[in-house]
Amino acid sequence: MSNSEETLVIRDLRRHLSGIDDDDNAETETTADFKYNLSLKVALPVAAIKSLLGVIQRTKSETMMGLQKELKLASEEMISFANDPINAVLLGGRSHIALASGCDLFLKYITRSFLEIPDFQACITQILSRGQRFSEISLAARDRIASVGQSFIRPGMKVLTHGWSKVVSSLLINAAQDTHFEIIILEGRPDAGGAKAASQMYAKAGIPTTIVLDSAMAYFMERVDMVVVGAEGVVENGGIINKIGTYAVAIAAKEHKKPFYVAAESFKFARLFPLNQNDLPDMGENIREKLNFVDTACWIATGGTIGTSPETCEEKDSSPSAVPGLVKIPQEVKVDNPLCDYTPAKYITLLFTDLGVLTPSAVSDELIKLYQ
């Protein structure tokens, strides 16, 4: 594959991630959006599949084998792009698992289409026309999830959630239109995902929201009635991979006998089978050590400015490079900062997907059917 072809795929991926050219991405956000907000609008697998559709449009292959080879190369390109820590900002800190599973599913879909329509050109036309509607399909998936999950939220409930997830937010905001309930959300270090979600989505929707420390999760668990989280990826045994901290929430929920629900689209189903945290796919070498701690003691969730008044910080350092509210870490102290963790299936009560409400063991059923 020539160099210009590779850059085209990545260029497409960037474009789709920023959602600039998408006019069917009509979400009800206000005009005061930051650039990273735009990039977080589009689900990562959707952007990847659109880029793969671009590869199909530009292909000069005459056979399915040739096209599959090109698509495979393009997927690998995108996965290594996602692994590169330089691109972490564009990806909004999401892992590439959903990307890999989305590409996998798309390649399987191509193969299956070719089995139905043996004529290469006709098959390509069919795929491209279906592909144009793909972003609608993924938004429709979110709506379907919101509708199946709605009946689980009853009036007066306290719902605990974790992390920034468009699926969960659409589910909760939808439910809030008919039911009155409260949200408790974890602040979500190190990227303050929870705090951002609360201020930008739930507060605007008028749902009473409380932000608590990640460490305070177990303290509040006895007060909540249910837990709902999103997922970066859903694995074969019905477990999920999600933002760090989800595993802890799941264990506490199980201990307190609170139902733990997961909201995820079906293109997040991946052919992975982790046995423990160690088995998670590599997120890239440098990401784990890179720390972007947000000192929430000084972070004002609505505005996002770090407080500069000396009264708010514990350590008074008079050197000019000291930032109030931050603790200086010496070189000898190591820092480990994983992005995602794996929650085994036994902690998950039900999954809300666009295929319906599934038990964790049914996920494997669906995966076998998808990949047969």
Partner 1 sequence: MKEVTKVFMGAAALMTDGSILSRVGTANVALMAQSNNVPVLFCCETYKISSRVQLESITSNELGNPDALISTNCAIDRSGSKETNGNDVLNEWRSVESLRLLNLLYDLTPSEFASGIITELGILPPTSVAVLLRELNQKENDLGSSNI
In the complex, the residues that contact partner 1 under the rule CB under 8 A are 236-238, 271, 273, 275-276, 345, 361, 364-365, 368-369, 372
Residue type, 228: V
Query: Is residue 209 within 8 Å of residue 183, measured between CB atoms?
Result: yes
Residue type, 330: P
Distance of closest approach, residue 115 Cβ to partner 1, in angstroms: 13
Distance of closest approach, residue 270 Cβ to partner 1, in angstroms: 12
Distance of closest approach, residue 321 Cβ to partner 1, in angstroms: 45
Look-up of token digits 């890239």: 284
In this structure, what are the phi and psi dihedrals at residue 210, rounded to the nearest 5 degrees? -125, 130
Query: What helix, strand, coil percent values describe the chain, rounded to 5?
Result: 50, 10, 40
What letters, b where the CB count within 10 A reaches 16 and e where it falls short, cover 20-47?
eebeebeeeeeeeeeeeebbbbbbbbbb
Cβ proximity to partner 1: between 309 and 372 the closer is 372
Token pair belonging to 156: 């007066």
Cβ proximity to partner 1: between 133 and 346 the closer is 346
Cβ proximity to partner 1: between 238 and 284 the closer is 238
Distance of closest approach, residue 369 Cβ to partner 1, in angstroms: 7
Distance of closest approach, residue 239 Cβ to partner 1, in angstroms: 9
Cβ proximity to partner 1: between 104 and 191 the closer is 104
Distance of closest approach, residue 364 Cβ to partner 1, in angstroms: 4
Tell me how far apart the alpha carbons of residues 353 and 268 are, in angstroms, rounded to a whole number: 10
Token pair belonging to 250: 């799941």
Token pair belonging to 301: 């969730």
Query: Is residue 69 within 8 Å of residue 75, measured between CB atoms?
Result: no
Cβ proximity to partner 1: between 201 and 250 the closer is 250
Query: Is residue 210 within 8 Å of residue 188, measured between CB atoms?
Result: no
Cβ proximity to partner 1: between 85 and 274 the closer is 274
